[in-house]
Amino acid sequence: MEQKNEQNTPLHIKNLAELKRCIRPGTELVATSHSKHPALVGLVRVVTEVQTNAYYSVVKDQPTHQYSACNHGKGFRSDFEKASNYIFEGTTIKVLDRRSGDGSVLYEMELYPGEHLAPGQESETSETNENVDL
């Protein structure tokens, strides 16, 4: 079952450090292709927990979905790979299959801002408020 993401504009991610900063609880992501789990393609997933080496995500508005219920309700686990295993192309993030060794793409995804502010919004708002004369 394919879902539509209500956030129309995917984030432009340039590198792994920026990706790790953007993946926070509430961030939405959509797999546009996946070689091992094709059922994930098109599902809007919401990040529930972030660790230094991985993050968990559930299918949006579907708490009983198999990918939402796994890992004791934390959701589907995705490990952060080495920076060399990522290809950042505009709004598309490609993750290479490190196990195959042939440089093939394991999955592609796009990130969308969730409930939290998009990168840069918080600092712009605070700078504006600091410069206001009262």
Q: What is the pLDDT, as a whole number, of residue 6? A: 52
Q: What is the pLDDT, as a whole number, of residue 101? A: 78
Q: What is the pLDDT, as a whole number, of residue 9? A: 92
For the chain, which residues make up each domain, given as ranges?
A: 16-130
Yes or no: say if 8 and 84 are a contact pair by the CB < 8 Å rule.
no
Yes or no: say if 120 and 34 are a contact pair by the CB < 8 Å rule.
no
Q: What is the pLDDT, as a whole number, of residue 86? A: 97
Q: What is the pLDDT, as a whole number, of residue 98? A: 87
Our CA angle for 35, 83, 66, nearest 5°, is 35
Q: What is the pLDDT, as a whole number, of residue 83? A: 96
Record the pTM.
Answer: 0.78
Please state, as a whole number, how many other Cβ atoms lie within 10 Å of the Cβ of residue 108. Answer: 18
Q: What is the pLDDT, as a whole number, of residue 119? A: 45
Series of mean pLDDT values for 10-residue runs along the chain (134 residues): 62 97 97 94 97 97 96 95 96 93 92 66 37 42
Q: How far apart are CA 84 and CA 74, in angstroms?
A: 27
